[in-house]
Amino acid sequence: MLKSPAPVFRGMDFAAVAETLSTLEETPSRLEMTEIVASLLKSSGRDLRTVVLFIRGRVFPPWDPREIGVAQKSMIKCVSTATGTPAKKVEETIAALGDTGLAAEALFTKKPQTTLTKKKMSLAEIHSSLEKMASWEGKGTQEKKGRHVIELLNSVSPNEVKYLVRLVLGEMRVGVGEGIMRDAIAKAFGVPAAEAERAFSLINDYSEVAEIARTKGEAGLKKIGILLFRPLRPMLAQTVHSVQEALDNGCRAWEYKYDGMRIQAHIKNGEVRVFTRRLDDVTHQFPDVAEAIKNTVTAKEAIIEGETVAVDESERPRPFQFLSRRIKRKYKIDEMVRDIPVITYLFDCMYLDGKNLTTQKMKGRRAALNKIVTEGNHVKFSRTLITNSADKAESFYKESLKLGHEGVMAKNLGAAYKPGSRVGYMYKLKPVTETLDLVIVAAEWGEGRRANWLGSYLLACRDPDTNEFLSIGRMATGAKDEQLQYLTDTLKPTIEFQKGKFVKLRPTLVVEAGYQEIQKSPTYESGYALRFPRLITIREDRAPEECDSLDRVASLHERFTAKK
Ligand code: AMP
């Protein structure tokens, strides 16, 4: 007797998900959006994880290092070949519509249909197809990926093309942020939103949180704990303007504020992985940090936190730019390790030998850290002072600045570690330099000697309500040739469209900008304008969502006007 074939899991059609994404894009209300996402999640069944990832414009969860590896430029070529449109025309369409997905949809709509009966692609098929692409390596990979994207684009409807293009480029733009996703999961599976958020802050992946909520409910979410080699979201600091303000907020522990890169190191039986504050795995770029931690930490399993700083021969801190050269470097790492040595100053321990320490007080966590670390040349404890004396804290702050550090961190000894939040357990105190961390959203090609470099960068701050980026000024000074080259190389792949010398960029890169004054102005979307903005540093350790908010701009403006 013939055996019946094993049932094939087909699940949802990609077209159905694309339809919902369209609806979401046209829905302005947050509440309605949450309802729509919740009902999609509810009906996703075994496709749930993929649905959650796709809505957020991802093929892989944030902690997964895999990448599709198809940039804007290659996508333009693919759309051009697939639709028989000259590349220049594709670029013009992108410029006119302001988005590659929309442009691709428009060009595919015009394209005469060759196949009358297109087979519907399932969501699972699209996902595994993209997953496969990410695994290709070596010579000829780019061409192979290009052919594959063309094939995929040709197999779906124009509406699906729009979202497929955005997915490959990693920018979904339907406005579903982490907050909406959290609430939708809560609604779809009847779990408390706070529980979903807690789980997310520990495992950093809403697709997994959703799957656990679906299959195991609230009890399942409650069981989620810290996972080794899966970075937690770091606890964030608030700002104070004086030592007294920190004391008033209950802080008694003072530490040097080092100007480097925050790292979270995961240790398990001698294996060490190093993650940044943005949760990227940088073990490859910083083998020296991993090695030094391996040699100084005695625990079998631990998650510890610190700041890695570039230093000179006398262990004095070097400016952040030195370290920043190491963060993005993929090749010749040995040279970097030799030329830009670093010291890691440790300040916290969130997990130790099977025990989650985040709920313990800072005092206990620090004691745990002290117990498992022996200081070496490249790993040290952050310099700390415990005092409730404003005078002593003030001199400690001055001493830190004198040694070339950024200021001090003031911490509450009795407080837990709250992953991912800015709860007021830790404060930063720096001299008021009034700098702003802003994201670059557009630029212009230079002239003459600078014709090959992007210059005159349009900067934007973040609207905390909508998470949109609002322009605030043009920065054309402060960058050295080397930085202009770096900015150009980094920003070029993020060009969305070009018109004459003007290029619109995907918001990806944050810079610290100085300026003379903030004024109210109708010229920019934020309603404010920076006078004479200049580049201080490039902050690739910051995610665009972490740039300064419109609120901070408004309060700085207020302080400016008050001082006048
Ligand atoms: P900011 O980057 O200005 O928001 O200040 C907070 C950052 O200071 C943290 O994310 C760390 O990267 C850094 N930092 C430097 N030294 C310390 C320290 N001793 N404790 C905590 N964070 C520190």
From CA 14, how far away is CA 18, in angstroms rounded? 6
- pLDDT per residue rounded down to tens, the chain (564 residues): 455 555 556 899 999 999 999 999 999 899 999 999 999 999 999 999 999 999 999 999 988 878 899 988 999 999 999 999 999 999 999 988 888 999 999 999 998 766 555 678 999 999 999 999 999 988 999 999 999 999 999 999 999 999 999 999 988 889 899 999 999 999 999 999 999 999 998 998 999 999 999 999 999 999 999 999 999 999 999 989 899 999 999 999 999 999 999 999 999 999 999 999 988 899 999 999 999 999 999 999 999 999 999 999 999 999 887 898 898 788 899 999 999 999 999 999 999 999 999 999 999 999 999 999 999 999 999 999 999 999 999 999 999 999 999 999 999 999 999 998 888 999 999 986 679 999 999 999 988 888 899 989 999 999 988 888 999 999 988 888 889 999 999 999 899 888 889 999 999 999 999 998 899 998 999 999 998 899 999 998 889 988 999 988 988 887 666 544
Kind of pairing between the strands at 528-531 and 495-499? unpaired
Tell whether 295 and 340 lie within a shared domain.
yes
Ligand 1 pocket mutation pick from 235, 254, 262 by most atoms within 8 angstroms of CB: 262
512 pocket-lining for ligand 1 (C-beta < 6 Å): no
Report if residue 441 sits inside a domain: yes
Residue 453 lies in a domain: yes
Total length of the chain: 564
Out of 259, 382, 409, 430, mutate this one to test ligand 1's pocket (max ligand atoms within 8 Å of CB): namely 409
How far apart are alpha carbons 469 and 440 in whole angstroms? 9
Q: Cα separation of 30 and 142, whole Å?
A: 39
Closest C-alpha to ligand 1, atom 18? 257
pLDDT at position 434, please? 74
Residues 123 and 54: beta-carbon distance below 8 Å: yes
Whether residue 468 sits in one domain with residue 344: no
CATH number at residue 418: 3.30.470.30
Q: Which of 429, 451, 474 is the last residue of a domain?
A: 429
- Give the separation between CA 188 and CA 429, rounded to whole angstroms: 42
Task: Point out the catalytic residue in the list 162, 257, 411, 418.
Answer: 257
Residues 252 and 390 in one domain: yes
Query: Quick check: CB of 278 below 6 Å from ligand 1?
Result: no
Q: How far is the CA of 251 from the centre of ligand 1 (A)?
A: 15
- Does residue 147 sit within a domain? yes
How much is the pTM? 0.74
- Is residue 228 a part of any domain in this protein? no
Please report the atom of ligand 1 found closest to the CA of residue 262.
12
Q: Is residue 380 assigned to a domain?
A: yes
Residues 137 and 65 in one domain: yes
> DSSP code of 57?
T
Pairing of strands 379-381, 342-352: parallel
| Closest to 257 measured CA to CA, from 446, 401, 404, 407 | 407
| 311 touches 317 (CB < 8 A) | yes
The finding on whether 47 has its CB within 6 A of some atom of ligand 1 is: no
Q: Same domain, yes or no, for 131 and 79?
A: yes
Cβ atoms of 293 and 270 closer than 8 Å: no
Instruction: Give residue 304 CA to ligand 1 midpoint distance, Å.
Output: 14
Q: Establish if 513 belongs to a structural domain.
A: yes
The predicted pLDDT at position 62 comes to: 81
- Mutate which of 257, 274, 545, 548 for ligand 1? The one with the most ligand atoms within 8 Å of its CB, which is 257
Q: Are residues 425 and 288 in the same domain?
A: yes
The pLDDT score that the predictor gives to residue 7 is 55
CB of 385 within 6 A of ligand 1: the answer is no
Q: Which residues contact residue 295 at a Cβ distance below 8 angstroms, ignoring those fewer than 6 apart?
A: 376, 379
* Site of tokens 């700390």: 384
Residues 202 and 322 in one domain: no
- Does residue 262 have its Cβ closer than 6 Å to ligand 1? yes
Which residue's CA is the nearest one to ligand 1's atom 4? Answer: 237
CATH code of residue 68? 1.10.3260.10
Q: Which of 429, 449, 466 is the last residue of a domain?
A: 429
61 in a structural domain: yes
Q: Tally the domains of the chain.
A: 4
Active site annotation includes 563: no
Return d(Cα 527, Cα 360) in angstroms, integer.
44
**Contact yes or no for 513/534 (Cβ under 8 A):** yes
237 C-alpha to center of ligand 1: Å? 7
Please check whether residues 209 and 244 belong to one and the same domain: no
Q: Which residue has a Cα nearest atom 6 of ligand 1?
A: 237
408 and 477 co-located in one domain: no
The CATH number of whichever domain residue 526 belongs to comes to: 2.40.50.140
Count of CB atoms situated within 10 Å of the CB of 236: 17
Indicate whether residue 255 lines ligand 1 (CB < 6 A): yes
Residues 390 and 258 placed together within one structural domain of the fold: yes
Mention every residue, 6+ apart, whose C-beta is less than 8 A from residue 544. 439, 462, 469, 507, 508, 509, 510
In the chain, the amino acid numbered 29 is S
The DSSP result for 437-467, as a single string, is EEEEEEEEE--GGGTTSEEEEEEEEE-TTT-
| Residue located via tokens 């594709």 | 90
Query: Atom 10 in ligand 1: which residue has the minimum CA distance?
Result: 262
Domain contains 8: no
Looking at the fold, whether 137 and 42 belong to one and the same domain comes out as yes
Return the exposure string of 438-470: e unless at least 16 CB atoms fall within 10 Å of the residue's CB, then b: bbbbbbbbbeeeeeebbbbbbbbbbeeeeeebb
Angstrom distance (rounded) from CA 290 to CA 266: 9
* Last residue of one domain, picked from the residues 379, 394, 429: 429
Domain of 104?
A: 14-169
Three-class secondary structure assignment of 146-194: HHHHHHHHHCCCHHHHHHHHHHHHCCCCCCCCHHHHHHHHHHHHCCCHH
How far apart are alpha carbons 408 and 400 in whole angstroms? 7
473 and 381 within one domain: no
Q: Is the CB of 552 under 6 A from ligand 1?
A: no
